């Protein structure tokens, strides 16, 4: 059984920052001891010593919103569980929760089996699944119990994408009530898609086809109203609700009001909503098509939203930063919407760069280092039923560890990142810090930006998650 000692670093959890050596054994955290207080003979010899002097030792990141190999808009997200999970690990993320899909007219079981087939033998880090529900009929409501038994304890429903994912309020409400019985959590894509579709058709009829119209036809009001409606439905059902990829001030205000009233309302945002804006969607003055690389849903908002979202993170109104990683290459994939913005596949790459970018918020004093750990690891572990095993550094927890070097600059770009996509939304940006070592269940898998794990494809394990953890 390999014994690893991470020596000389500063341990950071969601609540504490302290100088300690970290012992890992059997894939678990075995001990946290003050520097130099324990001799090798007392704890036994280490098979491997990692020098973390001058660095932070933190729980591995948990990205609870990814879409590996997602079929969307006539194409498929370009990262699969192999390339996407390897990229995640290079960025310090050691667990992902991806979205399986129950397609209309088919069972959740079929959707889950399809996602097992995508992940098994491929994922390099541990993974769980949420289940996207495209209908809440007696059969699917019944099946929710079987999913919870399998460790699929959260379900996503959409108010957007009519004809594909959209479900009506009655179905959402029924699913929420059922989730309440099962201890499961409903997560909501809360843009109201029916009026959005009218705006899209109107823009196209007027010849407005450029990528920026993706944002101009999905206004903030559509997300704010959807958010308020989802909160009201959850309040009526007496259950918690989790808003995925919240992008805008007014949607955040609806969450804040709900939380001020004591409702168990939770929300995540994503790096793209903190660092990119509608200006990116406009592309370059001589190349508006460049904006296609920034088409995601909800759309990027004007810059003034950034401050509101950072404040939300600082004040605990937003609990999580996940990525909504859903990459499509510019060539052949985004290209599908060259003459019609509504045909540009929705989504951006991000699973690898989440910690790099958010650390800028720590450096700028927007969030504390403990809050950084909380929103990238601890809170998603608690909300999605993984806490204790994942999401912290404590004796008995999985030894998923990031040794984070605050002085290891990195230039982000297609040539330095590992995601399987032909552009980077952050091309050329130099971030101040990066991981020097990443460990997954005690195994060193990334060192100095190189994969060093013994095995790659298939070393990740499926995570049977517990019910709602808060």
State the minimum distance, in angstroms, from the CB of residue 12 to ligand URP: 30
> Are the C-beta atoms of residues 327 and 79 closer than 8 Å to each other?
yes
State the minimum distance, in angstroms, from the CB of residue 377 to Zn ion: 19
Site map (CB under 5 A) of Zn ion, residues 174-213, x = contact: ---------------x------------------------
Taking CB under 6 A as the rule, does residue 347 contact ligand URP? yes
DSSP string, 37-99: SS-HHHH---SEEEE-TTSEEEEPEEEEEE-TT-EETTEE-S--HHHHHHHHHHTTEEEEEEE
State the minimum distance, in angstroms, from the CB of residue 15 to ligand URP: 31
Instruction: Tell me which residue has its CB nearest to ligand URP.
Output: 346
Q: Which residues pair with 430 in a beta bridge?
A: 411
State the minimum distance, in angstroms, from the CB of residue 276 to ligand URP: 12
Taking CB under 5 A as the rule, does residue 324 contact Zn ion? yes
Specify the residue, 278 or 324, whose C-beta has the smaller distance to Zn ion. 324
Q: How many other CB atoms are found less than 10 A from the CB of residue 139? A: 10
> Are the C-beta atoms of residues 23 and 2 closer than 8 Å to each other?
no
> Are the C-beta atoms of residues 108 and 454 closer than 8 Å to each other?
no
Q: Which does 122 bind (CB under 5 to 8 A by kind): Zn ion, ligand URP, none?
A: none
Residues across the chain: 470
| DSSP 8-state assignment for residue 336 | G
Which of 94, 225, 265, 297 touches ligand URP by CB under 6 A?
297
Taking CB under 6 A as the rule, does residue 349 contact ligand URP? no
Instruction: Tell me which residue has its CB nearest to Zn ion.
Output: 189
Taking CB under 6 A as the rule, does residue 296 contact ligand URP? yes
Selection from 347, 386, 419, 439 nearest residue 64 by Cα: 386
Alpha-carbon distance 316 to 304, whole Å? 19
Selection from 343, 385, 368, 256 nearest residue 308 by Cα: 256
Alpha-carbon distance 430 to 362, whole Å? 15
36 burial (CB, 10 Å; 0-12 / 13-18 / 19+) is exposed
Specify the residue, 189 or 254, whose C-beta has the smaller distance to ligand URP. 189
CA angle 335, 337, 341 (to 5 degrees): 140
Site map (CB under 6 A) of ligand URP, residues 391-430, x = contact: ----------------------------------------
Site map (CB under 6 A) of ligand URP, residues 209-248, x = contact: ------------------------------------x---
Which of 153, 272, 346, 436 touches ligand URP by CB under 6 A?
346
Which of 248, 300, 326, 446 touches ligand URP by CB under 6 A?
326
State the minimum distance, in angstroms, from the CB of residue 246 to Zn ion: 10
Backbone φ and ψ for 263, nearest 5 degrees, come out as -80, 145
- Omega of the bond prior to 401 within 30 degrees of 0, cis? no
**Considering only residues 160-199, where is the footprint of ligand URP by CB under 6 A?**
189
State the minimum distance, in angstroms, from the CB of residue 167 to ligand URP: 13
Specify the residue, 324 or 443, whose C-beta has the smaller distance to Zn ion. 324
Taking CB under 6 A as the rule, does residue 67 contact ligand URP? yes
3-class SS of residue 356: helix
Region near Zn ion per CB under 5 A, out of 19-27, 233-241, 321-329, 370-378:
321-329
Q: Which does 220 bind (CB under 5 to 8 A by kind): Zn ion, ligand URP, none?
A: none
Selection from 359, 369, 349, 377 nearest residue 95 by Cα: 377
Instruction: Report how many residues bind Zn ion under the rule CB under 5 A.
Output: 2
| DSSP 8-state assignment for residue 292 | G
Binding positions for ligand URP, rule: CB under 6 A: 67, 189, 245, 296-297, 324, 326, 346-347
């Amino acid at each position: 059984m390999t014994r690893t000692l991470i020596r000389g670093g500063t341990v950071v959890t969601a609540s504490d920052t302290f100088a300690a050596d970290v012992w890992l054994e059997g894939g678990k955290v075995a001990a946290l001891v003050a520097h130099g207080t324990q001799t090798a003979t007392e704890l036994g010899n280490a098979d491997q010593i990692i020098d973390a002097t001058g660095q932070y030792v933190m729980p591995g990141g948990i990205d609870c919103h990814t879409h590996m190999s997602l079929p969307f808009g006539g194409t498929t997200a370009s990262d699969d569980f192999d390339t996407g999970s390897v990229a995640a690990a290079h960025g310090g993320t050691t667990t992902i929760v991806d979205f399986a899909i129950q397609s209309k007219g088919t069972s959740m079981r079929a959707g889950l089996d399809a996602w097992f087939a995508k992940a098994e033998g491929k994922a390099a880090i541990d993974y769980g699944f949420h289940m996207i529900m495209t209908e809440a009929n007696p059969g699917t409501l019944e099946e929710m119990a079987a999913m919870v038994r399998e460790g699929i304890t959260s379900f996503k429903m959409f108010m957007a994408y009519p004809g594909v994912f959209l479900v009506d309020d009655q179905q959402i409400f029924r699913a929420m009530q059922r989730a309440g019985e099962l201890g499961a959590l409903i997560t909501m894509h809360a843009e109201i898609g029916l009026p959005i579709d009218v705006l899209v058709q109107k823009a196209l009829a007027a010849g407005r086809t450029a990528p920026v119209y993706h944002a101009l036809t999905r206004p903030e009001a559509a997300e704010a109203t959807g958010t308020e409606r989802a909160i009201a439905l959850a309040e009526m059902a007496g259950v918690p609700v989790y808003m995925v990829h919240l992008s805008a001030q007014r949607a955040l205000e609806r969450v804040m009001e709900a939380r001020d009233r004591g409702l168990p309302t939770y929300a995540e945002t994503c790096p793209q909503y903190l660092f990119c804006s509608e200006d990116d969607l406009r592309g370059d003055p001589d190349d508006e098509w460049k904006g296609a690389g920034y088409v995601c849903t909800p759309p990027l908002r004007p810059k003034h939203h950034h401050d509101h979202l950072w404040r939300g993170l600082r004040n605990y109104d937003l609990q999580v930063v996940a990525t909504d990683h859903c990459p499509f290459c510019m060539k052949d994939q985004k290209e599908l919407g060259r003459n019609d913005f509504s045909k540009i596949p929705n989504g951006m790459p991000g699973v690898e760069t989440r910690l790099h970018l958010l650390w800028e918020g720590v450096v700028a004093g927007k969030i504390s280092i403990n809050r950084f750990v909380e929103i990238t690891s601890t809170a998603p572990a608690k909300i999605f039923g993984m806490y204790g095993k994942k999401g912290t550094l404590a004796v008995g927890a999985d030894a998923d560890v990031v040794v984070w070097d605050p002085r290891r600059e990195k230039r982000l770009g297609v040539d330095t990142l590992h995601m399987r996509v032909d552009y980077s939304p952050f091309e050329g940006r130099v971030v101040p810090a990066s991981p020097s070592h990443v460990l997954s269940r005690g195994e060193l898998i990334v060192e100095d930006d190189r994969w060093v794990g013994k095995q790659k494809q298939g070393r990740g394990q499926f995570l049977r998650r517990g019910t709602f953890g808060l």
